[in-house]
């Protein structure tokens, strides 16, 4: 792991604990964001986007359990691993922390080796989880695009044949409007099918891209009803 790229949010109401952890973690090239209350910690978790949170359980007002529960249920912060910091290591306390979404816990007073080991373990887990989710998204994207490719080819083939048929008919001295209208119906049906596929593709984005495809911007469909009216009026 490249440690100098990781940001750790430390939430504790006691400044001496925060500064102690900050000093220890900075020695390991972590970037530390301090917070001195539960509400401040929640705000900074959303604005600073830390890679990991060290959260003290015993705080006045909003305690660590409540903070952990809020962060674990929020879409913006639910994937950030939380390590609870506690002076108590009773099984009930640990179970309560895990129940509200904590990844791990560490007891006071801190052992530096254990502290760094637990942090690194949590960060590795978060990285593996992120890669797993990314891989799953990529597989879904590939499968959807592959299916869409086949779904678009069939109506395009039919539309191409219909267009060629219309062209041949228009070259005749006596044009059969009913035949042309029939072929336009094929075009209309093809447009509906392709639009349905594009709508489905529009609902997903490429895993490696932040841009969502905008079919309304890039696709301009002809008005079939206008085309029919023009032929009937001619």
Q: Is the same domain home to 71 and 161?
A: no
| Domain end call among 110, 127, 160 | 110
pTM over the 0.85 mark:
no
In a domain? residue 39: yes
Look at residue 99 and tell me if it is in a domain. yes
Q: What is the pLDDT at residue 138? A: 76
CATH number for position 75: 3.40.50.2300
151 and 75 in one domain?
no
* Lookup result for tokens 């978790």: 45
* 98 and 170 fall within a common domain: no
Residue 98 tokens read as 């895990």
Q: Are residues 98 and 8 in the same domain?
A: yes
Diameter of the chain measured on Cα atoms: 96
Ordered per-residue pLDDT tens for the chain, 234 residues: 445 579 999 999 999 999 999 999 999 999 999 999 999 999 999 999 999 999 999 999 999 999 999 999 999 999 999 999 988 666 677 778 888 889 988 888 888 899 999 999 999 988 888 887 777 777 777 777 778 887 888 888 888 898 999 999 889 888 898 888 998 998 988 888 888 888 877 776 655 544 444 444 444 444 555 555 555 555
Domain boundary among 110, 126, 157: 110
How far apart CA 39 and CA 14 sit, in angstroms, is 15
Instruction: Tell me if 122 is assigned to some domain.
Output: no
Expressed as residue numbers, the domain containing 68 is 3-110
Give residue 220's pLDDT.
42
Ordered DSSP codes for 130-193: HHHHHHHHHHHHHHHHHHHHHHHHHHHHHHHHHHHHHHHHHTSSS--HHHHHHHHHHHHHHHHH
Side-chain half-sphere of 27: how many Cα atoms within 13 Å?
Answer: 9
Assess whether 10 and 105 both reside in one domain.
Answer: yes
pLDDT of res. 219: 40
pLDDT of residue 13: 95
**Cα(196)–Cα(205) distance, integer angstroms:** 16
| Opening angle at CA 46, ends 40 and 47, nearest 5 | 85
């Amino acid at each position: 792991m490249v440690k100098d790229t990781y940001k750790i949010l430390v939430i504790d109401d006691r400044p001496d604990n925060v500064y102690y952890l900050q000093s220890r973690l900075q020695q390991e090239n972590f970037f530390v964001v301090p917070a001195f209350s539960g509400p401040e910690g929640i705000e900074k978790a959303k604005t600073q986007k830390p890679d990991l949170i060290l959260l003290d359980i015993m705080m006045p007002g909003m305690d660590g359990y409540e903070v952990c529960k809020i962060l674990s249920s929020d879409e913006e912060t639910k994937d950030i691993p939380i390590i609870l910091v506690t002076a108590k290591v009773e099984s009930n306390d640990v179970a309560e922390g895990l129940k509200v979404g904590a990844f791990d816990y560490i007891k006071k007073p801190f052992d530096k080796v254990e502290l760094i080991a637990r942090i690194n373990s949590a960060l590795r887990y978060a990285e593996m989880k992120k890669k797993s989710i990314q891989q799953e998204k990529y597989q879904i994207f590939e499968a959807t695009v592959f299916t869409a490719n086949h779904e678009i080819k069939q109506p395009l083939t039919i539309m191409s044949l219909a267009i060629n048929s219309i062209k041949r008919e228009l070259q005749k001295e006596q044009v059969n409007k009913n035949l042309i209208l029939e072929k336009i119906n094929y075009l209309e049906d093809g447009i509906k099918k392709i639009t349905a596929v594009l709508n489905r593709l529009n609902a997903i984005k490429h895993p490696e891209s932040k841009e969502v495809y905008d079919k309304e911007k890039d696709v301009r469909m002809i008005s079939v009803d206008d085309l029919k009216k023009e032929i009937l009026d001619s």
